Structure 1
Amino acid sequence: MPSGYKQFCPVAMAAEILSKRWTIVLLRELIAGSTRFNDLRRGVPRMSPTLLSSRLKELEAAGIIDMNVDSAGPGLHEYQLTESGRDLGAVIEAVGIWGQRWVDTDLSLENLDPALLMWDMRRNLNTAPLPKARSVINFIYSDLPHSQKYWWLIVDPTGVVDLCSVDPGFEVDLFVTADLRAMTAIWMGLSTVKSQIEQDTVRLDGDQAISSQMQTWLGLSHFAGERKRAV
Structure 2
Amino acid sequence: MTRARIPDCPLARSVEIIDRWWTLEILHVVLCGRTRFSAIRRDLETPADVLAERIAELTEKGLLEADDTADDVDGPDDPAHRATALGRSLRPVLLVMAAFGNHRLAPEDRSVILVDEETGQEVDPVVVDRATGRRIDTAGFAFARGPKAGEQVAARYPEARAGR
Aligned residue number for residue 61 of structure 2: 62
1:190 is matched by which residue type in structure 2?
E
| In 1, Cα distance between equivalents of 2:96 and 2:63 | 18
Aligned residue number for residue 96 of structure 2: 94
| In 1, Cα distance between equivalents of 2:47 and 2:92 | 27
Aligned residue number for residue 134 of structure 2: none
2:86 is matched by which residue type in structure 1?
S
| In 1, Cα distance between equivalents of 2:86 and 2:30 | 13
Aligned residue number for residue 12 of structure 2: 12
- Is residue 35–residue 80 contact of structure 2 (8 Å, CA) maintained in 1? yes
| In 1, Cα distance between equivalents of 2:85 and 2:37 | 20
| In 2, Cα distance between equivalents of 1:74 and 1:41 | 16
- Return 5+ residue gaps in structure 1 as ranges: 106-188, 193-219
Q: 1:73 to 1:39 in 2, by over 3 A?
A: closer
1:78 is matched by which residue type in structure 2?
A
| In 1, Cα distance between equivalents of 2:74 and 2:38 | 14
CA shift for structure 1 position 48 = 2.8
The percentage of aligned residue pairs carrying the same residue is: 22
2:73 is matched by which residue type in structure 1?
A
Q: 1:222 to 1:191 in 2, by over 3 A?
A: closer
TM, length-normalised to structure 2:
0.59
1:140-159 to structure 2, matched below 5 A, reads none
CA shift for structure 1 position 64 = 1.2
TM, length-normalised to structure 1:
0.43
CA shift for structure 1 position 36 = 0.5
Aligned residue number for residue 142 of structure 1: none
Q: Which has the higher strand share?
A: 1
1:76-97: CA deviation from partner (whole Å, max 9, x where unpaired): 3110111111111111101100
CA shift for structure 1 position 26 = 1.2
C-alpha root-mean-square deviation of aligned residues, in Å? 2.7
- Is residue 101–residue 226 contact of structure 1 (8 Å, CA) maintained in 2? no
Aligned residue number for residue 221 of structure 1: 112
2:31 is matched by which residue type in structure 1?
I
Aligned residue number for residue 128 of structure 1: none
1:1-231 to structure 2, matched below 5 A, reads 3-8=2-7, 9-45=9-45, 47-69=46-68, 70=70, 71-75=72-76, 76-102=78-104, 189-190=107-108, 221-223=112-114, 225=122
SS in 2 for 1:190: helix
- Is residue 100–residue 226 contact of structure 1 (8 Å, CA) maintained in 2? no
SS in 1 for 2:73: coil
- Is residue 29–residue 40 contact of structure 1 (8 Å, CA) maintained in 2? yes
